[in-house]
Amino acid sequence: MKDYFIFFKNNSPEIRFGWTLTFLSSFGQTFLISLYVPTLLEQFHISEGFFGGIYAISTVIASILLISIGHTVDHKPIRKVSFYTILALAASTVLLGLSRYHIAILFVALIGLRLNGQALLSHISQTILSKRFQVDRGKALSIASSGFPMGEAVFPVILTSLLIWKGILVTTLSSAAFLLLYLGRLLIFEVKSFDEDLDPSRNTSGKLIVGEFQELLKEKKFWIIAPASMSLSFVTTAYFFYQYVFAEDLNWSVTLYASFFTVYAVCRFVMAFVGGLLVDRYSARKVFRFYLLPITIGMIPLIFTQHIFAALFFLAMAGISQGTAGTVKTAVVAETFGTAKLGAIRSFFNMFMIFSTALGPLVIGMMMDQDFPFYSLILSLALLLFLALLNSQRLSAKKFPKIA
């Protein structure tokens, strides 16, 4: 840990900036949006399946928009890109509170939350840190990634209390006000070091973006890296989206189950730092080949028993994989494809990842509607992870030389 303290001390402004962006991305993440779901279902008199469909469509649209916006981090000043992204996230949060006037407002709000929160803020953070730190990339990404579990630990408690006390409108307006206050803080952050490698002359026409996307799809290494990222997002989003439905159906104590999230958050937080050390010591490629193993193992007890402590084991193992993923997913793309066009390339990867977060709840929800038993749902998710884990073993340093 001494290395982390020295590294943070020497690079504090850049690391704090990256961490803050991942922390604020919580406002567009599934775990936070799910807090509003009961209110929204009652507000519009719609079913869980109908809302899941709206959520899936809005997330897919956000993923498509990402590839037309994500490249801006390669050639636009970081302060400007971050400012407008946070401003748009705050506006989307306000729209969520005003959605009671029409369901179309809800749809637009969800697109904005998913695009600017879950997609862009985390994308900006991970991309600029990967470019800025070549040698200590693992440490930089791991510290920044700790913003995700911190958001999971802090925001649900605060927003749930606000929802119970004052309702959805006050809660969303308070969230937007918090984001707007940060914009003032952004003006005094030292972020010029992130702009040293910008390429303002880069052509960003739609034709070029489509061409780069087509070239990426022809790369064998893309079809090795992308499935691992997509499968993890698919599985975790699907499970967490319906976790309290599972808890009720299996007669688990909701209070006890909710307390287990502390274990998940701690494991994810710790592994964010451990993952960074592993990446710097062994390379992202080597760590990438095994980061899906813990969550895959974690699902095995849930297949054979419905005891609540099987869920505790799964959450702990999921936290290990998720914490490691926060560092290794970006680092392996930077190692394999280089950093010159990292913003554009990561936006393509993130498009597929975000698409999988839309597909997960939709597919599992349809299976639940067809009365698939719990163990078969978990078995399906475990098999998906296992296949992705096998596929990731194809990432060989000999076949794909490391690119700085």
Contacts of 385 by beta carbon, 8 Å cutoff, 6+ apart: 231, 232, 235, 292, 295, 296, 299
Amino acid at 281: R
Q: Please give the Cα distance from 211 to 62 (Å, whole number).
A: 20
Q: What confidence tens digit (pLDDT) does each residue in 290-331 have?
A: 999 999 999 999 999 889 999 999 999 999 999 898 788 878
pLDDT for position 295: 96
Per-residue pLDDT reduced to its tens digit, 106-164: 999 999 999 999 889 988 988 888 877 777 777 888 888 888 888 887 888 788 889 88
As a whole number, mean pLDDT of residues 91-115 equals 94
pLDDT at residue 207 above 70? no
pLDDT for 263 equals 86
Residue 391: the pLDDT is: 94
**Considering Cα of 187, then 143, then 267, then 292, what sign does the dihedral take?**
positive
Domains and CATH numbers, the chain: 2-191+204-392 (1.20.1250.20)
Three-class SS of residue 162?
Answer: helix
- Tell me the three state secondary structure of residue 371: coil
The alpha-carbon radius of gyration of the chain (Å, integer) is 20
The reported pLDDT for the residue numbered 235 is: 94
Residue 97 is predicted with a pLDDT of: 93
218-231 pLDDT, tens per residue?
A: 788 889 898 998 99
13's CB contacts (< 8 A; 6+ apart) are 189, 190, 191, 193
Cβ contact 137:84 at 8 Å: no
pLDDT at 201: 54
d(CA 114, CA 161): 23
Q: How many CB atoms lie within 10 A of CB 236?
A: 22
SS3 of 251-318: CCCHHHHHHCHHHHHHHHHHHHHHHHHHHHHHCHHHHHCCCCHHHHHHHHHHHHCCCHHHHHHHHHHH
Arithmetic mean of pLDDT over the chain: 84
With cut-offs at 50, 70 and 90, classify the pLDDT of residue 279. confident
Q: State residue 196 phi and psi, 5-degree precision.
A: -65, -35
Name which of 67-81, 323-337, 384-398 the model is least confident about. Answer: 67-81
Does residue 355 have a pLDDT over 90?
A: no
- CA–CA distance, 140 with 8 (Å, rounded to integer): 8
The stretch 360-387 carries a mean pLDDT of 89
User: What's the mean pLDDT in 18-23?
Assistant: 91
